[in-house]
Structure 1
Amino acid sequence: MSQETLKAALENAIAGLQKNPASARLVFRAKTRLLEGVRCSAEVRDFPPLIVDEPAELGGGDTAPNPVELLLAALGTCQEIVYAAYAAVLDIPLDAVEVSAKGYLDLQGLFGLSDSVPAGYQKIVFETALKSPADTEAIRKLVAVVEGHCPVLDTLTRPVEVEGSVTLNGAPLNVSISNAA
């Protein structure tokens, strides 16, 4: 898709949202299922199932990325998408965008070996490499807009309410899964 086509599509979407702000609220869905061992299948919209697995050293078959790797991929691809979108809208030429992300995780948290170690990432570091003929000031403005509006970065950097429930054989199990205050 050309930058002009992307710009037109985004401007059309923005105009539609301005006319009907209620249409801005979306709900995204994913349905996952444990297949065997620790190998899982994730279904999103009408796409073929995405397989998720763990490396052999964590009990998996090493046939696919694991969930924490997918989180890093989600951050990187979201950054790239938002760069492309805002560059198009702001008429800033971009020749390339690549994101390298690293997540630092201590397995003591996952395996319950230390109450002081979180189960998830303790730190995520990413580097964005841009190629553009645009002047440095235009790119600085683009970076500021992207960093302020990337949905995955936003989700990772602020508290987000998470709730869950569990059923056992179709009946609700009375457990509370929530980080809500």
Structure 2
Amino acid sequence: MSQEHIKNTLLAAMGNLEKNPAGAKVVFRASTQLDEGMHCLGKVREFPPISIDEPADLGGSDRGPNPVEIVLVALGTCQEIVYRAYASVMGIALESVKCNVRGYLDLRGLFGMQEGVRAGYQKIVFETEVVSSAARAELEKLAQIVERHCPVLNTLQEPVEVTGSVTINGQQMAAEASASV
């Protein structure tokens, strides 16, 4: 897909949003199901199922990345996509964009072994490498825009409301019970 095509598509989408601001509110969906062992299948739109598993040393069969690795992939690929999008609109040619992401997790939180140790990442570090013949000032402006507008980065950096429910054998748990877990 050419940079010009991406630019025209994004500018058309922005023009449509200016005419119809209500169209800016979208909902993305995914469904998942535990398969066998620790292996799960994730379904998004009409794509083939995504295989998600744990490594053998965490009880899995290592048939795919684990959920916390998927978070890192989501951040890296979102950075790359937002670079492509804004570079296209700004007329900046990109030779390549690559993102290396590391997440630091203390397994004691996952296993509930130590009070006060969070189950999720304690720190995530990403290093984005951009190769382009554009002027450094243009690329720095692009990088600043991407850092402000990358949805996954924003989701990880800013608190977001997350709600849920649990249904057991066809009956939904009381809201208080699921909130206190």
The two structures have a TM-score, normalised by structure 2, of 0.97
Structure 2: gaps of 5 or more residues:
none
Distance between the aligned counterparts of 1:136 and 1:21, measured in 2?
34
RMSD of Structure 2 on Structure 1 (CA): 1.1
Per-residue Cα deviation, 1:93-146 (whole angstroms, up to 9, x for no partner) = 111000000000000000000112100000000000000000110001000100
Residue of structure 2 in register with 1:52 after alignment: 52
- 1:117-136 pair list within 5 angstroms: 117-136=117-136
Comparing both structures, which one devotes a greater share of its residues to strand?
1
Q: Stretches of 4+ moved more than 2 A in 1? A: 175-179
Residue of structure 2 in register with 1:76 after alignment: 76
Residue of structure 2 in register with 1:162 after alignment: 162
SS in 2 for 1:46: coil
The two structures have a TM-score, normalised by structure 1, of 0.97
Instruction: Report sequence identity in percent.
Output: 56
Letter of the 2:36 partner, please give it: E
Distance between the aligned counterparts of 2:109 and 2:89, measured in 1?
43
Distance between the aligned counterparts of 2:116 and 2:28, measured in 1?
33
Residue of structure 1 in register with 2:20 after alignment: 20
Letter of the 1:104 partner, please give it: Y
Residue of structure 2 in register with 1:85 after alignment: 85
Count, aligned residues: 179
Per-residue Cα deviation, 1:153-179 (whole angstroms, up to 9, x for no partner) = 000000000101001111111144459
SS in 2 for 1:148: helix
Structure 1: gaps of 5 or more residues:
none
SS in 1 for 2:164: strand
